[in-house]
Structure 1
Amino acid sequence: MSTLFVAWQAPSPTRAWFPIGRLDASVDRHDYVFQYTQGALQAQERAGFSPLLAFPEFERRYEASELFPLFKNRVLEPNRKDFAEYLNWLDLDPAHADPIEILSLTGGERQTDSLEVFPQVRKMADGTISCRFFLHGLRHVSTAAQQKADTLTEGEELQVAIEVNNPATGYAVQLQTKDCHLIGWAPRYLVADLRTALLEHATITATVRRINRMGAPFARRVLIELRGGVPADFEPMASKEYSVLPV
């Protein structure tokens, strides 16, 4: 099964993010399960989070044979005339793309709430991790950096660096061109694990997988693939906040 986590952003002034839920899904078998995680209790204690209307009880296992509306409504409808272009931006094959893959790349963001979804990163049998995401923060870098990003080519390698004084998040993971131009950041959900892995001398590389220019919003311009070997005792997304609540 594929796994997505759900993150909730607290209101001002903290605007902190908490992983509050987990969706396990098998599209082929029509099997979907949602459960809250320990992060939901942390969010409740620290920022007043309440259970989502779609899932009103913390300690309950929700099961369905179709994707829950909370998630389904965050994916563009296949009958939209721009659906093919949408999948093209995501570098997905229309013949095989499913809603979980789409959500993994888009985050399912909506202007009407404070939720975001992201995929579970798993360590493979060979001791490596890999994930794909769109470059974050391109609209917030300098004009010169945006112009530099416009010259990126598919297959180009980028540098991965830990930032320790990001004004919004404290720690962050920067993505830079080989000549050290900061062009954006990795998603916030990767920061803690990447920081830990890099401090333990993991070898993490970033590669430009797709460039979308004509008509694509900033959030869909540059698709990145992150790969790397990590220490034997390192397991991504294994902290307490990701563990599901008992039923």
Structure 2
Amino acid sequence: MSPRGERRLYAAWRNPDGLIRPVGTLTLRTSGDGQCYRFAYLKAAEQFEGFHGLPGLPDLHAVHESEQLFPVFRNRLMPRRRPDYEDFVKRLNLDVETDPFEVLIRSEGWKATDRVEVFAHPERTHDDHLSMLFFLRGIRHLEGAERATLDVQVGDVLELEKEPSNLVNPRAVLLCTRTDRRIGWVPDCLVDVIHELGERAVEITVTAEHVNPESAPLHMRLLCRLLAPWPQGYEPLTGPEYQPIAA
């Protein structure tokens, strides 16, 4: 878990085949002296074929620190002065006063012009549950999925379906409606958490947290929440690939 005064997100990269893996971690530390951003690459970055570093952060073996958000992440934030900013944060189920770091996390840093995105560390709730928010992925790759998402209502329970035959990622997890209509996938970087919880026989519930209208981009169509009891002694995202390269 993150210490008090520290918030964390992970940077991920999508290779040409479509597989998305974590490559680095960004932390925001806040104290009476101000704030500091710290970025470090993870072991997975060295093992991910074709990955050579994020723009502006070329040294995989360095720890980068700055009082300002690094440009590769700052450029993923829509400026508040834009007239459509309010509509944008509403699609994220946030409001205009939400701080930029949270907006970056919720939006997943998605841009059509590159392969970089971000995701949050699972949250531990006050009643010891593991909670994750994520947007449904890959809607356009499933026949009928776009239309099916329009029938989903806030609060609907969605079913998880493992997909070992997936050629890009054999650990992929599909999401289906209660009527068995496949509507998309859990983001690649979160499927390990689902598999680990499953190995501990933990009951996982996924519900529709926020449903955007048909006018919203497909990658922002359906915001989901995963909720499960937090197993004793369990810490997510701590495997070998999540270890930092630099001490």
Q: Report the TM-score, using the length of structure 2 for normalisation.
A: 0.88
2:146 aligned with 1:141, yes or no? no
Report if aligned partners of 1:203, 1:230 keep a CA contact under 8 Å in 2.
no
Work out the CA distance in 1 between the residues paired with 2:149 and 2:30.
35
Q: Give unpaired runs (5+ residues) of structure 2.
A: 1-5
Q: 1:173 — aligned with what?
A: 173
Task: Report the 3-state secondary structure (helix = DSSP H, G, I; strand = E; otherwise coil) of the residue aligned with 1:87.
Answer: helix
Work out the CA distance in 2 between the residues paired with 1:53 and 1:212.
31
Q: 1:186 — aligned with what?
A: 186
Shift, 1:106, TM fit: 2.0
Shift, 1:70, TM fit: 0.9
Distance 1:15 1:211, change over 3 A: closer
Distance 1:240 1:208, change over 3 A: same
Task: Report the 3-state secondary structure (helix = DSSP H, G, I; strand = E; otherwise coil) of the residue aligned with 2:193.
Answer: helix
Work out the CA distance in 1 between the residues paired with 2:93 and 2:47.
36
Instruction: State the AA in 2 paired with 1:4.
Output: L
Quote the sequence identity (%): 31
After TM superposition, list the pairs within 5 Å mapping 1:102-117 onto structure 2.
102-117=103-118
Distance 1:123 1:162, change over 3 A: farther
Structure 1 window deviating more from structure 2 (80-89 vs 233-242): it is 233-242
Q: Give unpaired runs (5+ residues) of structure 1.
A: none
Task: Report the 3-state secondary structure (helix = DSSP H, G, I; strand = E; otherwise coil) of the residue aligned with 1:5.
Answer: strand
Work out the CA distance in 2 between the residues paired with 1:171 and 1:50.
25
Instruction: State the AA in 2 paired with 1:164.
Output: P
Q: 2:220 — aligned with what?
A: 220
Task: Report the 3-state secondary structure (helix = DSSP H, G, I; strand = E; otherwise coil) of the residue aligned with 1:130.
Answer: strand
Work out the CA distance in 1 between the residues paired with 2:218 and 2:232.
37
After TM superposition, list the pairs within 5 Å mapping 1:87-98 onto structure 2.
87-95=89-97, 97-98=98-99
Map Cα deviations across residues 45-103 of structure 1 (whole Å, 9 max, x no partner). Answer: xx1432334123222221111111110001111111100000000001212x1222122
Distance 1:85 1:48, change over 3 A: closer
Work out the CA distance in 2 between the residues paired with 1:232 and 1:83.
41
Distance 1:10 1:177, change over 3 A: closer
After TM superposition, list the pairs within 5 Å mapping 1:16-27 onto structure 2.
16-26=19-29
Map Cα deviations across residues 135-157 of structure 1 (whole Å, 9 max, x no partner). Answer: 112222222x4333211111111
Shift, 1:122, TM fit: 4.4
Q: 1:162 — aligned with what?
A: 162
After TM superposition, list the pairs within 5 Å mapping 1:1-247 onto structure 2.
1-11=6-16, 14-26=17-29, 29-43=34-48, 47-95=49-97, 97-123=98-124, 126-143=127-144, 145-247=145-247
Distance 1:27 1:180, change over 3 A: farther
Structure 1 window deviating more from structure 2 (155-164 vs 218-227): it is 155-164
Distance 1:123 1:68, change over 3 A: same
Instruction: State the AA in 1 paired with 2:117.
Output: E
Instruction: State the AA in 1 paired with 2:38.
Output: V
Task: Report the 3-state secondary structure (helix = DSSP H, G, I; strand = E; otherwise coil) of the residue aligned with 1:202.
Answer: coil
Instruction: State the AA in 2 paired with 1:236.
Output: P
Structure 1 window deviating more from structure 2 (214-223 vs 120-129): it is 120-129
Shift, 1:127, TM fit: 4.2
Q: Root-mean-square deviation (CA), in Å?
A: 2.1
